[in-house]
């Protein structure tokens, strides 16, 4: 039995979210991921989005979530001996992953041309905000900036709030998935051609792929996207969020049959025959009145109760859950999304629950094999695998290279 990337070796120079999430996805499918970190503190994410309990030991929860399953070595890429170490690592690798500003690896003598000379079968994946060429190449970028630049924020929010960024790192993580797919494609291509490949993954490009229906609506149909709040792109008052007796409910009723299902569920079947709401156009014209009627009825029970009742009447709906609530969702017990690794290996008390891949398989599916690494935990082990003996490793340490 073998997972898809068993035997694949990834040298991961990336940090923060997009690149590490790409490498994490590959590792779940069996790839050996060597995380290369700066000796002075390592990946920025080790101390971000957390409190002192985890920051002080360099094990922020978000870092653990992006880096479980990897091994960590420290290497100062500005040190004169760094290039020698990287070439030794790359000679036995299949994939190099980096998310520095465009041109950084080239200036360090570790770009695509230099490293494919060492290993012609190498898959070299660069992740950046705007890509490796063009007037914005080399521009620093974080998730929020790309949400703004891509137009994503222009369609998120309400008229009262103005444009709003998503409450999660939508661009970073989708870019990580895009990069993982690109690497997988390049490895598949290599089986056929025997050749390596350069991959240029852009956060901006990825964000635009997520906006594909809206872009097509504008370019082909001439429809200017706008702020819709929680209303769906069909602009129907029955596809929106509603206040209930306890919590908020999101309903996505798009068809006449689904609207009739709402009316049956709330005990207001006469609304389906009301001329103000008789068809899609009428419901759009009288949206405020219809929403008021529905919300008045929903005040009698909780969002969770209404979601169940609506579902039984064929109406797509869900309570708007908090993170703790969704983690208690009964459906998760039937999925393989959440896995745990021992926290003690990472210096953290108790088991670490980690979100893995968004799919399962009947055999050899995604699986976590080890805890997130402490900074430089595997330096000697990995250098030994690259051919360095104990004296050479000691010399590299004494020189400050690792």
b/e code 34-54 from CB counts within 10 Å (16+ = b): bbbbbbeebbebbbeebeeeb
Contact yes or no for 277/259 (Cβ under 8 A)? yes
Q: What are the strands, taking DSSP E only, across 244-380?
A: 248-252, 317-319, 338-342, 351-355
Contact yes or no for 93/11 (Cβ under 8 A)? yes
Q: Where are the alpha helices (DSSP H) in 194-268?
A: 203-210, 212-219, 256-265
Catalytic (active site) residue 364: no
Contacts of 323 (CB under 8 A, 6+ apart): none
The alpha carbon of residue 156 and the mean position of all alpha carbons in its chain are separated, in whole angstroms, by: 19
Distance CA 45, CA 28 (A): 20
Contacts of 137 (CB under 8 A, 6+ apart): 102, 103, 128, 130, 131
Distance CA 279, CA 299 (A): 25
Distance CA 340, CA 352 (A): 5
Contacts of 335 (CB under 8 A, 6+ apart): 360
Helices (H) and strands (E) in the chain, counts: 17, 11
Contacts of 42 (CB under 8 A, 6+ apart): 15, 58, 72, 74, 375, 376
Q: Catalytic one among 43, 76, 94, 172?
A: 172
Cα 387–393–398 angle (5° rounding)? 155
- What helix, strand, coil percent values describe the chain, rounded to 5? 45, 15, 45
Helix (H, G, I), strand (E, B) or coil at 120: coil
* Residue found under tokens 């797509």: 316
- By annotation, the residues acting in catalysis are 172
């Amino acid at each position: 039995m073998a997972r898809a990337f068993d035997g694949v070796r990834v040298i991961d120079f990336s940090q923060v979210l997009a690149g590490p999430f790409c490498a994490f996805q590959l590792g779940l499918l069996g790839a050996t991921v060597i995380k290369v970190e700066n000796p002075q503190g390592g990946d920025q994410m080790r101390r971000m989005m957390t409190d002192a309990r985890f920051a002080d030991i360099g094990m922020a929860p978000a870092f653990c979530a992006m880096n479980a399953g990897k091994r960590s070595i420290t290497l100062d890429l500005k040190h004169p001996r760094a290039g020698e170490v990287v070439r030794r690592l790359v000679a036995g690798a299949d994939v190099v992953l980096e998310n520095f500003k465009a041109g950084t690896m080239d200036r360090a003598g570790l770009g695509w041309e230099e490293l494919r000379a060492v290993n012609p079968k190498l898959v070299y994946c660069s992740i950046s905000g705007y890509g490796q060429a063009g007037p914005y190449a080399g521009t620093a970028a974080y998730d929020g900036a790309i949400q703004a630049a891509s137009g994503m924020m222009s369609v998120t929010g309400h008229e009262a709030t103005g444009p709003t960024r998503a409450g999660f790192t939508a661009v970073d993580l989708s870019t990580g998935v895009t990069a993982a797919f690109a690497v997988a494609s390049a490895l598949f291509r290599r089986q056929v051609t025997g050749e390596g490949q350069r991959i240029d993954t852009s956060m901006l490009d990825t964000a635009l792929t997520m906006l594909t229906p809206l872009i097509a609506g504008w370019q082909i149909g001439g429809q200017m996207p706008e702020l819709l709040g929680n209303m769906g792109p069909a602009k129907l008052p029955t596809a929106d969020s509603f206040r209930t007796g306890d919590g908020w409910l999101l309903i996505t009723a798009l068809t006449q049959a689904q609207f009739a299902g709402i009316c049956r569920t709330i005990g207001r079947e006469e609304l389906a025959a009301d001329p103000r709401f008789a068809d899609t156009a009428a419901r759009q014209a009288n949206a405020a009145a219809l929403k008021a009627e529905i919300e008045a009825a929903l005040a009698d029970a909780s969002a969770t109760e209404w979601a169940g009742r609506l579902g039984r009447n064929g109406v797509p709906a869900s309570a708007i859950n908090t993170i703790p609530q969704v983690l208690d969702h009964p459906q998760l017990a039937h999925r393989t999304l959440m896995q745990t690794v021992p926290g003690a290996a990472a210096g953290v008390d108790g088991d670490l629950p980690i979100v893995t891949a968004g799919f399962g398989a009947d055999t050899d599916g995604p699986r976590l094999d080890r805890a997130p690494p402490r900074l430089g935990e595997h330096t000697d082990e990995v250098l030994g695998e690259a051919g360095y003996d104990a004296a050479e490793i000691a010399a590299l340490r004494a020189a400050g290279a690792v």
